[in-house]
Amino acid sequence: MLLSRFSALILLCITTLLAGCRSDEWRHTEIVPIQPGATIHLRVAHAVNDRLPRMTPEQLTTLLDAAQRTALEHFGVHLKFSTVTETTVDAVLALIPPKVRQARMNEIYDFKSGKGDRKRLAESILVTLQERKTKLADALAYARPYLPATISPKSLQEFSVILAEVMLEGLNDWRSIQAIDGKPVLDDTPRNEWVYWDTVGYGELPYDLVITNQLVASAEYTAVEVHTAIRGGLTTGTTTFSRTSPSGSFVFWSTFPFTDSSPLSHALRGDEDYNTTQAAALSGAYLAHEIGHMLFKFGHPFGQNKCVMNPASMLHYRTWQQQLDAQRCRIGSIPEMQVGAIPEIYNENWLRMALGH
Ligand SMILES: [Zn+2]
């Protein structure tokens, strides 16, 4: 997923009256220089929701091995992972400082109760498109295969309305998926809400990497990207602020899109499923994408298929991996692969709330 805080900053400033936010609340974390060949130690947790299928310890080992290999090949660093701490999704989300959670609640589009504001969602998508300096033709070329054939938006504004509709329809599809207990995966809890996961790092999070079997699918009035919208609000992983992490960021990483065998996920993967080993290995390889955000603050070289930092199309992880070529996407070779291309930012007020000042 695209790093989000820049959009958050602009959106919150535009909606100042609603959110009460000011742009001067945002700060960059420091870029920590990393030497070629460095060894990086990362603290890892596996946050489990018992209602959903989970990866076995063997799969987690395969996943982390693949992340290690991919990071070494593409970024030239040696990742050393801690022993994986087994915890629960609820325990991780409980680390969010209550005041910060409260401050961010109005970013969540409430699709469960039907009280979400479609117009505001479309407007927030437009803000993100404009902030990214998106060209309508480029965005359409990227998204066209996944949108209704009849659409022909004449402006980014029209395109935003379509994306909001597609996103909400997709979210509705995710609601039809059942958990092990036969009830919907997306239940009444906020476990699926991206805003919650994106806020955990304001608490005392003792991990740099949180792997979870949770389906993270939701809609926000903040930083909705084209590729997230067309997947029905599904997030594979995000790199976001963490006050306890040496890099200033932590990663949350969902294995659900790799392991889920529902017809919906099957279709989004390009009509294929992965066996247990493939799911773990592909998940680990793609996790290196977030490691690139976390350690080096790389951006997104969209369409540069040889780069780990190019986001996968839909859930086509295998195709994504097959196209990688580390020799043709070196650090510093293109603007998005410059160290610090997208620094981590955080909200100073939220941090102050978290620290109880
Ligand atoms: Zn990314």
Question: Does residue 187 lie in a domain region?
Answer: yes
231 alpha carbon to ligand 1 midpoint, in Å?
Answer: 15
The number of folded domains in the chain is: 1
The per-residue pLDDT for range 204-237, each reduced to its tens digit, is 999 999 999 999 999 999 878 888 899 999 999 9
Question: Does residue 274 lie in a domain region?
Answer: yes
311 alpha carbon to ligand 1 midpoint, in Å?
Answer: 6
Name, in order, each residue with C-beta under 8 angstroms of 356's C-beta and a sequence gap of 6 or more: none
Question: Does residue 158 lie in a domain region?
Answer: yes
- The CA distance from 341 to 280, in Å, is 29
pLDDT of residue 54 exceeding 90 = yes
Residue type, 339: V
Question: Does residue 230 lie in a domain region?
Answer: yes
**Domain span including residue 337:** 5-19+56-354
Q: Is 87 exposed, middle or buried (0-12, 13-18, 19+ CB in 10 A)?
A: middle
Per-residue pLDDT, averaged over 343-354, amounts to: 95
Question: Does residue 46 lie in a domain region?
Answer: no
Q: Where are the beta strands (DSSP E) in the chain?
A: 26-28, 39-42, 44-48, 78-81, 85-88, 108-109, 209-212, 216-217, 219-220, 234-235, 237-241, 249-254, 345-347
Question: Does residue 247 lie in a domain region?
Answer: yes
The per-residue pLDDT for range 134-168, each reduced to its tens digit, is 889 888 888 888 898 899 999 999 999 999 999 99
Q: For strands 234-235 and 216-217, give the pairing.
A: antiparallel
Per-residue pLDDT, 225: 84
pLDDT of residue 20 exceeding 60 = no
Q: Token digits for 111?
A: 């699709």
The residue ranking higher by pLDDT, 122 or 14, is: 122
Q: Which residue has the tokens 């070779």?
A: 333
338 alpha carbon to ligand 1 midpoint, in Å?
Answer: 14
223 alpha carbon to ligand 1 midpoint, in Å?
Answer: 13
103 alpha carbon to ligand 1 midpoint, in Å?
Answer: 25
300 alpha carbon to ligand 1 midpoint, in Å?
Answer: 6
